[in-house]
Structure 1
Amino acid sequence: MDSGRRRRAARRLWTAVAAALALPLSMLATSATPAHAAALQCSVDYRTNDWGSGFTADLTLTNRGTDAINGWTLTYAYSGNQKLSNGWNGTWSQSGQSITVKDAGYNGTIAAGAAVSTGAQFSYSGTNTAPSSFAVNGTTCAGAHQPPVTVLTSPSAGAVYTQGTAVPLAATAAAADNATISKVEFYDDTTLLGTDTSAPFTLSASGLAAGSHSLVAKAYDSLGASAESTPVGITVTSAPAVVASPTQLGVQQGKSGAFAVKLSARPNADVTVKTTRTDGNAGLSVSDGSSLTFTPSNWSTAQNVTVAADSSGTGTATF
Structure 2
Amino acid sequence: TATVSAPIVINVIEKANEAPKVTITAPSTNSQFIQGDNISITSVATDTDGTISKVEFYNGTTLLGTDTSAPYSFDWTNLPIGNFSITAKATDNKGAATVSAPIVIYVIEKANEAPKVTITAPGTSSQFIQGDNISITSVATDTDGTIAKVDFYNETSLLGTDTSAPYSFDWTNLPIGNFSITAKATDNKGAATVSAPVVINVIEKANDAPKVAITAPSTNSQFIQGDQLSITANATDSDGTIVKVDFYNGTSLLGTDTSAPYSFDWINLPIGNFSITAKATDNKGTAAVSSPVVINVTEKANEAPKVTITAPSTNSQFTQGDNISITSVATDTDGTIAKVDFYNGTSLLGTDTTAPYSFDWT
TM superposition score category, shorter chain reference:
0.3 to 0.5
Q: Kindly name which structure, 1 or 2, has the bigger radius of gyration based on alpha carbons.
A: 2
Which structure has more RCO (C-alpha within 8 Å, separation ≥ 6)? 1
TM-score by length of structure 1 reads: 0.39
Q: By percentage of residues, which structure has more strand?
A: 2
